Amino acid sequence: MFAAYTTIGAIAGSLILSIWAVISVNGTADHMLTNVSYQWLSIGDTTIYIGVMMDSLASIMVVTVSTISLLVQIYSIGYMKGDGGFIRYFAFMSLFTGSMLGLVMANNLLFMFLFWEGVGLCSYLLIGFWFHKPSAARAAMKAFMVTRLGDFGFLVAVILLYVKTGTFNISELHQLALAGVLSGSTLTWAAIGVFSGAIGKSGQFPLHTWLPDAMEGPTPVSALIHAATMVTAGVFLVARMFPVFASSETAITVVAAIGGFTAIFAASMGLVATDVKRVLAYSTISQLGYMMLGLGAVGMGYATGHLDEHHALGLGVAVGVFHLFTHAFFKALLFLGSGSASHATGTFDMRKMGGLRKVQPWTYATFVIGSLSLAGIWPLAGFYSKEGILHEAFEFAPVLFVLAMITVFMTAFYMFRAVFMTFHGEYRGGDESGHSHLHESPKVMIIPLVVLAAFAVFAGWLPVGNFLGSHHDYSFFSHLFSGLFVDPSWMAWVSIMLGVSGIGLAYAIYGKKVLSAQAIGRKMGPLHKLLVRKYFFDEMYEKYFLMRFLINGVFAVTQWVDTHIVDGAVNGVATVSLAGGKIMRRLETGQLQVYGLAIFIGVLVIIACLFIFS
């Protein structure tokens, strides 16, 4: 218990400091509280700095991270009670949060990369927290490996930027990109490289496969990963480097396209998942896709000249990060809620749950609030942030806007499918192992849920966009007096209608059971199978990428090189010197007089040399 109180005390302290930071940043004219660098290493003429930047983006991130982390850790006291790794758990959680806080405050890319890897490491440790379960160990390894692929691109991009510009400093890179000093293919490739890191961390297509498997860790870990620490790092990175991205039309189009596609792609898999945590995982991937789309759409507006620098830079970050901010609360809420449901039933399989509404009224109420918020129902938080993204996509990326609108419908459907399957109808038995004593979770778990539910309602009302330097704010308070919705208001109506009809369809199928899910599944045969099997991405990666390409290709070649060339060189040197020694030792006769003669001849030779060469 001491471990838990220590880390919770520490994180509460950082929450207070974070709020202080937001207030201080808000008080400064340019929303930049501090941006200092200290010398870290000096190698020859190269000096590497570490530094902290506290601007509006960083301060919003630290508040989000520390709030979520605090609530998740409080919840964990109840959830992890009696677990053998209780202390280890809290230690890892703190390290995780600490890495993320460092990441968002870093003012240069190399320093950020350090924390970036720290976050990756902690996700590995926590996903594999129950490492005695082979599936957990495997999922941890998968998460680490898949994100590593993206990180490689990030590292290459950081090095490329350094070679071309001589700096790791983010503000300097912004200025170089905006001034056009950094441009052309260098900029494009560097931005795409950085984005590949974001793809890996944020689980965007095509590196999304690790995130659903990451459910093997304890549920609060999933909440933390999905809401605050791990996956938001990718979106944060794009937001942080936004001027660099927006200066390259190709790169920012890639960001928007990947984001928009991932949003609908992941949502479609969420439609059929039967594990409630997996539904939430696909939902996270999908929502992260939205954030990328929001950033990308505004960036495209800037790159194509529709927006000037003055408006675009603040707006892009505001749109993306506003959704990140609201999403963090309701997604953490939903994960913790699913954990609470599983705490009673012993399973995450929605087919074995049902009827929990009566025994877990608090969990049910908060879960529904989270789902409504995620589905984008007015006036909950998710509505406002999603509106921002939809508006910008409508303006600058119409094709992706259509995808995003379809995703709104799918989001509402799969979330309420989860609600109805988990909390409505009859209880379907839970886990077979006899963990069937249904009960509401303890207070220590319910209170964080209630707090998060409050945020899930109100987070969208805060003028985060203005704070992040945008002239256009999508939050509730900002257009309270100018009308219910931002212009064009039909869009808000359409998205609410889509959301409501998604909920209605879910109710029809899983609530009232007017329509049979099985019948629809059968009718959609191949499509249903495609979704259930997750578009065969796991199989494809395993069979073609892992087996054919890596194991039989790259690894086979490298193994041959290792055994024959590297080991061959080592063994060859050893064999040659051994053979040489065998020959040379014949000279050692043991005859003292022979040695004496050799010395005498040697002296003669030296003397002769002295005479000849002097």
Partner 1 sequence: MSVGLEHFLILSAVLFAIGLYGALAKKNAVVILMCIEIMLNAVNIAMVAFAHYVDVISGQVFTIFIMVVAAAEVAVGLALIISIFRRKKTLDAEKFDILKW
Alpha-carbon distance of 61 to 147, in angstroms, equals 21
Smallest distance from partner 1 to CB 612, Å = 21
Alpha-carbon distance values, 274 to 69, 280, 518, 533 (Å):
27, 11, 13, 12
Pick one of 519, 547, 573, 597: the residue that binds partner 1 (CB under 8 A): 597
CB 256 within 8 A of CB 400: yes
Task: Examine residue 592 and tell whether it contacts partner 1 (CB under 8 A).
Answer: yes
Task: Examine residue 596 and tell whether it contacts partner 1 (CB under 8 A).
Answer: yes
Pick one of 518, 591, 610, 611: the residue that binds partner 1 (CB under 8 A): 591
Question: Which has the closest alpha carbon to 363: 78, 65, 1?
Answer: 78
489 vs 577, beta carbon nearer partner 1: 577
Task: Examine residue 433 and tell whether it contacts partner 1 (CB under 8 A).
Answer: no
Candidate segments 134-142, 244-252, 293-301, 588-596, binder of partner 1 by CB under 8 A: 588-596
Pick one of 600, 605, 606, 607: the residue that binds partner 1 (CB under 8 A): 600
Pick one of 30, 43, 45, 585: the residue that binds partner 1 (CB under 8 A): 585
% helix / strand / coil in the chain, to the nearest 5?
75, 5, 20
Running DSSP on this structure, what letter comes out for residue 472?
Answer: S
Smallest distance from partner 1 to CB 577, Å = 16
Alpha-carbon distance of 532 to 271, in angstroms, equals 9
Task: Examine residue 305 and tell whether it contacts partner 1 (CB under 8 A).
Answer: no
For residue 436, the one-letter residue type is: S
Sign of the four-CA dihedral 354, 360, 365, 366: negative
**Contact characters 529-568, partner 1, x per CB under 8 A:** ----------------------------------------
Smallest distance from partner 1 to CB 545, Å = 57
544 vs 600, beta carbon nearer partner 1: 600
508 vs 599, beta carbon nearer partner 1: 599
Smallest distance from partner 1 to CB 593, Å = 5
Rounded to the nearest angstrom, the gap between the alpha carbon of residue 559 and the centroid of all alpha carbons in its chain is: 33
- State in Å, rounded, how far the first CA of the chain is from the last one: 85
Alpha-carbon distance of 488 to 15, in angstroms, equals 38
Smallest distance from partner 1 to CB 588, Å = 5
Pick one of 593, 611, 613, 614: the residue that binds partner 1 (CB under 8 A): 593
Question: Which has the closest alpha carbon to 415: 325, 331, 528?
Answer: 331
Running DSSP on this structure, what letter comes out for residue 511?
Answer: I
Task: Examine residue 578 and tell whether it contacts partner 1 (CB under 8 A).
Answer: no
H/E element, 36 = strand 32-43
Candidate segments 187-195, 232-240, 353-361, 586-594, binder of partner 1 by CB under 8 A: 586-594
> Residue 223: what are its φ and ψ, rounded to 5°?
-60, -45
Alpha-carbon distance of 193 to 1, in angstroms, equals 43
Q: Please name every residue paired with 106 in a beta bridge, in sequence order, or none if there are none.
A: 52
| Number of residues binding to partner 1, judged by CB under 8 A | 10
Running DSSP on this structure, what letter comes out for residue 459?
Answer: G
Task: Examine residue 493 and tell whether it contacts partner 1 (CB under 8 A).
Answer: no
526 vs 590, beta carbon nearer partner 1: 590
Pick one of 2, 134, 588, 614: the residue that binds partner 1 (CB under 8 A): 588
Pick one of 590, 610, 613, 614: the residue that binds partner 1 (CB under 8 A): 590
For residue 231, the one-letter residue type is: V
Residue 442 tokens, joined = 């303890």
Binding site for partner 1 (CB under 8 A): 585, 588-593, 596-597, 600
